[in-house]
Amino acid sequence: MKQTILYLLAILLILQACNKKNVASESIRKVISFNLGWKFMLGDTPRASIESFDDSAWPFLNLPHDWSIEADFSIDNPTTPGGGALPGGIGWYRKTFTPPAADKGKITYIDFDGVYWNSTVWINGQLLGQRPNGYISFRYNLTPYLKYGQPNTIVVRVDNSQQPNSRWYTGSGIYRNVRLVTVNPLHIAHWGTYVTTENISARKADVNLRITLENNSANLRQAQLVSIIKDNDGQIKARATTSVTVPKDEKIETTQAMMLNQPQLWSDTQPYLYTIITQVIDDGRIIDEYNTPLGVRSFAFDHTKGFLLNGEPVIIKGVCQHHDLGCLGTAVNIRAMERQLEILKQMGCNAIRTAHNPPAPELLDLCDQMGFIVQNEAFDMWHKRKSPQDYSHFFSQWHERDLTDLILRDRNHPSVFMWSIGNEILEQWTDMNVDTLDLQQANILFNFASKMNKDAQSDDLHVNSLLTIKLANLVKSLDPTRPVTSGNNEARPVNHLFKSGAMEILGFNYNHNLWSELPQIYPGQKYIITESTSSLMTRGYYEMPSDHTFTRPERWDIPYENPGNQCSAYDNSCVPWGTTHEHSWQLIKKCDFLSGLYIWTGFDYLGEPTPYWWPSRSSYFGIIDLAGFPKDIYYMYQSEWTDTPVLHLFPHWNWKPGQTIDIWAYYNQADEVELFLNNKSLGKSSKNGDDLKVWWRVPYQVGTLKAISRKGGKEILVREIKTAGTPVSLRLTADRQIISADGTDLSFITVEVLDTDGYPVPVANNMINFSVEGNGFIVGTDNGNPTDHLSLKKPGRKLFNGKALVVVQSNGKRGSVEVKATAEGLKMASVTIKCK
């Protein structure tokens, strides 16, 4: 009878807790941001790990923090232009904090979402551990070393001095979020739930939840586990209760099953999310609570139909994304990531490949909420190196732990559809003139692999295939619900990753000429284009004739130079292993068996300035430039990938007398486009066959170009481009004029120069100086120019092809911030951002 009363009381408490906002998280499991109030010093100070070390001269800062982005770009930095031409080095972080005396007897962890790289952590002078991988999340237990009610000091050393260690910009420091987590001794373990769904229909879905409980107390513990599924209106839709017994100092796993009636499905167009709230109840008290995201969706990859989501064919229209956020560097900011995804979504993009490393967890949260199909990638290299000091030095010791932690952390995200175990791994081939595994290691790999590949024969499988099987099996042991793939630039069957038989989807990087032949080369397999295109573009720069494709460099290992170090925005410039955007998409449209593609890349990124080297310091591959300004090709995708009416006319109309200019137009929802120059028709044009644009060759005259799209003779859209006059004033346009006063929210402000008629001057390159007053500060400036060497943190920036960007951050106080822009000889401009 007593147990029944206690059980009913527990259920009552659960219902009360579920209907009181933040009650559980505040009083049961404490998760607090640990980002504020760190001290930092750049340079190696070995005694800084000692608790009593005097750090009074060190400056304060808040996390996330990327120290590299603060510097000017320089060819002298050992990262090289490939790594962004910004410094690495060694940095130390220290923070003093006082845990409440009431927390004594509880367990306190510190969670790092990512530190780049080679981090070492101490608490009160006690070494907690080291983690070389700069992209992986990790946790330390602080409990044995804490002094409750007294000051404690956490110290982190970050060593990014061994360079170059990457083919792109990595950033340096504690560049992702840090949290302090305090729980009762009996609690749900780190990344301790795993949700799957099956038997999905319009009527119901079966939801299965695995829960890992950890008991750090000195006694065996018995408890109730109650899980509740809530919809996004907070209504309870399903419930499960389980009794558990957990021995002291042990972990146990238990399972729960729930039926969700009339589920709303998650998709790329309607990403509906539920939340599973799991509570641990001991003697009628809720002693822990843990939330798990739930998106109900079914999917399949088919060798003839491509990708199916909830039973319907969906083309994966994706982009590859590196992790930097332009002028913010790699320091994680949710609004900056959200802005990038918003721009991509408006283009019609529905998928992200996390090239070539585990992403920040907040990116996946956003992808869950916004409807992106994510290929989550683990490694850019295995044993065989690509850069002199890269992760290959740590792969043997750390790959199992790193891959395990990635899967455990991210397997509940409904946006994650694939695991990639590697990008262009050099183990695709037999001999790359590097060390190979010895016979003993090879035998270990074979024995491991053969457990899941009964037909494998040691004589048939190279050690690289065995390693592939090992990694794939590790993924499948942790998450059997998602397929394993990899990005391969070796498309022939000699590829050891393909020969392993472990790739559930064959991923192809480039090799466009083979796409149509894949069903014949690999019959019955499933296919995804993991990386494509690599077209080269600079926003606002045009190279003619536009109907000629410029291949640059001539070959990947031949240096290329061109005055100005820019690339044409006509979609007529690409690398020798790639092709144009138009050609890639034409091929996808013809191949129903292809699940889709991930374009290289969505945004320009710092580092890897192909086809150039210094003085370039960032990439030309993006559909959108580093500042977040779309290049013209953006509108080709928008015309093909969305229902938004599109008529995009380019380039600008400020040229020299006597020039002949190629005029392009991307359009949709129309039969034809007619072009006018100063009200005189230059003729009508329609897309023929596979064409995705129309174009004209026009002798330049000062005036106005006008394009009209029509369908069945009816006017659909009109676009005009005018010859801009002399610059006279500035204009500031904020993406949002109201931001949160939370200390992290951002407003991205576009800067333009206007002529006397208020028309933007597309060739302006004026130097703009910025200042702010009020409750915010300038966190970065940019213009999208891959050759600009001024630090992206400076409060001044030249316009590049008519545009620049200033980013303002809330300082955590309510009020407003006024942003002013001035330039010599021009009328100033200002904009006020409210912080609420």
Tens digits of residue pLDDT in 616-627: 999 999 999 999
Model confidence over 39-53: pLDDT tens digits? 999 999 989 999 999
pLDDT at 776 over 80: yes
Query: Residues 653-675: what's their mean pLDDT?
Result: 97
Question: What does the pLDDT read at residue 8?
Answer: 40
Question: What does the pLDDT read at residue 320?
Answer: 98
* Percent above pLDDT 90 for the chain: 91
pLDDT at 22 over 50: no
Query: Is residue 752 classed as helix, strand or coil in its secondary structure?
Result: strand
pLDDT at 196 over 60: yes
Query: Residues 167-173: what's their mean pLDDT?
Result: 98
Query: Is residue 296 classed as helix, strand or coil in its secondary structure?
Result: coil
Q: What is the dihedral of CA 444, 446, 448, 449, to 10 degrees?
A: 160
Q: Of residues 214, 427, 490, 531, which has the active-site annotation?
A: 531
Query: Residues 496-500: what's their mean pLDDT?
Result: 96
Question: What does the pLDDT read at residue 555?
Answer: 86
Quote the distance between the C-alpha of residue 633 and its chain's center.
Answer: 21
Looking only at the bridges linking them, the beta strands covering 373-377 and 351-354 are parallel
Question: What is the rounded CA–CA span in Å between residue 827 and residue 449?
Answer: 70
Query: Residues 504-523: what's their mean pLDDT?
Result: 97
Query: Residues 29-34: what's their mean pLDDT?
Result: 97
Q: How confident is the model at residue 14 (pLDDT cuts 50, 70, 90)?
A: very low
Question: What is the rounded CA–CA span in Å between residue 322 and residue 301?
Answer: 25
pLDDT at 3 over 60: no
Model confidence over 527-569: pLDDT tens digits? 999 999 999 999 999 999 999 999 999 888 888 988 999 999 9
Query: Residues 688-708: what's their mean pLDDT?
Result: 97
Question: What is the rounded CA–CA span in Å between residue 223 and residue 225?
Answer: 7
Question: What is the rounded CA–CA span in Å between residue 248 and residue 253?
Answer: 14
Q: What tokens does 75 get?
A: 């060819």
pLDDT at 83 over 90: yes
pLDDT at 310 over 50: yes
Interhelix angle for 361-370 vs 334-347, to 10°? Answer: 40
Query: Is residue 407 classed as helix, strand or coil in its secondary structure?
Result: helix
Q: Identify the burial level of 432 via C-beta atoms within 10 angstroms of its C-beta, where 0-12 means exposed, 13-18 middle and 19 or more buried.
A: middle
Closest CA to 624 of 264, 341, 823, 820: 341
Query: Is residue 575 classed as helix, strand or coil in its secondary structure?
Result: coil
Model confidence over 445-463: pLDDT tens digits? 555 545 544 444 445 789 9
Query: What stretches of 216-261 adopt beta strand conformation (E)?
Result: 221-230, 236-246, 250-261
* Weakest mean pLDDT among 104-113, 311-320, 435-444, 750-759: 435-444
Query: Residues 465-476: what's their mean pLDDT?
Result: 96
Question: What is the rounded CA–CA span in Å between residue 434 and residue 379?
Answer: 18
Query: Residues 95-115: what's their mean pLDDT?
Result: 97
On whether the CB atoms of residues 386 and 426 are closer than 8 A, the answer is yes
On whether the CB atoms of residues 596 and 637 are closer than 8 A, the answer is no
Query: Residues 336-354: what's their mean pLDDT?
Result: 98
Is 424 a catalytic site residue?
yes
Question: What does the pLDDT read at residue 293?
Answer: 98
**DSSP labels, 676-727:** EETTEEEEEE---TT---EEEEEE--SSEEEEEEEETTEEEEEEEEE-----
3-class SS shares of the chain: helix, strand, coil, % to 5:
20, 40, 45
Distances (CA, A) of 180 to 131, 177, 253, 327, 394: 18, 10, 24, 28, 28
* Percent above pLDDT 70 for the chain: 93
Query: Residues 494-510: what's their mean pLDDT?
Result: 97
Question: What does the pLDDT read at residue 9?
Answer: 43
pLDDT at 425 over 80: yes
Is 608 a catalytic site residue?
no
Question: What does the pLDDT read at residue 444?
Answer: 52
Q: How confident is the model at residue 27 (pLDDT cuts 50, 70, 90)?
A: low
pLDDT at 247 over 50: yes
Query: Residues 327-354: what's their mean pLDDT?
Result: 98
Q: How confident is the model at residue 126 (pLDDT cuts 50, 70, 90)?
A: very high
Model confidence over 360-416: pLDDT tens digits? 999 999 999 999 999 999 999 999 999 999 999 999 999 999 999 999 999 999 999
Question: What is the rounded CA–CA span in Å between residue 704 and residue 346?
Answer: 28
Cα Rg, the chain, nearest whole Å: 28
What mean pLDDT, rounded, does the chain reach? 94
Question: What does the pLDDT read at residue 153?
Answer: 98
Q: How confident is the model at residue 17 (pLDDT cuts 50, 70, 90)?
A: very low
pLDDT at 1 over 60: no
Query: Is residue 612 classed as helix, strand or coil in its secondary structure?
Result: coil
Query: Residues 329-353: what's their mean pLDDT?
Result: 98
Question: What does the pLDDT read at residue 317?
Answer: 98
Model confidence over 677-695: pLDDT tens digits? 999 999 999 999 999 999 9
Question: What does the pLDDT read at residue 729?
Answer: 98
Question: What does the pLDDT read at residue 413?
Answer: 98
Question: What does the pLDDT read at residue 233?
Answer: 95
Q: Of residues 377, 424, 582, 608, which has the active-site annotation?
A: 424
